[in-house]
Amino acid sequence: MYITSMDIKIYLSQCLWRVEATEMDTLRRSSRISRKERIRNVTIRQEIGLEETIIKETEQNQLTWYDHVQRMVEGRLPKIALKWVPKRKRARERPKKNWIEGIRKAMNERNLHEGQWEDRKQWSLGVGQRRKTF
């Protein structure tokens, strides 16, 4: 079976609570903290030094990629694929939301608007993507 990165992104956007629970389970196991100890997730994150969840990081990466594709020339394949809308209805098992709806929701949460990607610096500040120094 061939799985694309778009399938993975759609799956992640639909199963956020599962991803978050799995992330916390991994953090608890790596810290050797049991659920029986009744330590809050926020406390564990602070002890480890994580500021954001994996979901927020995924949203940031999606918005960065969306910005990148929107600035492309019109004939490029990623831009064509982003604008493509299937003609028939989704199958019963498929997620109800598509990838672009998740992007629009993330943009609304961050007060980003269509066309704002032209100014890269302003977009990266709105997305929350900062340059990481090592």
| Whether 67 contacts 114, CB under 8 Å | no
Burial of 69 (0-12, 13-18, 19+ CB in 10 A): middle
Q: For residue 94, what pLDDT is reported?
A: 72
| Whether 13 contacts 97, CB under 8 Å | yes
- The first and second tokens of residue 104, run together, are 């629009």
Give me the residue spans of the domains in the chain: 5-127
List all residues 6 or more positions away from 90 whose beta carbon is below 8 Å from its beta carbon.
96
Which carries the bigger pLDDT value, residue 10 or residue 114? Answer: 114
pLDDT tier at 8, thresholds 50, 70, 90: low
Instruction: Note the pLDDT tens digit of each residue in 79-134.
Output: 888 888 777 777 777 777 778 888 888 888 888 888 777 777 777 777 776 555 54
Q: What is the pTM of this model?
A: 0.65
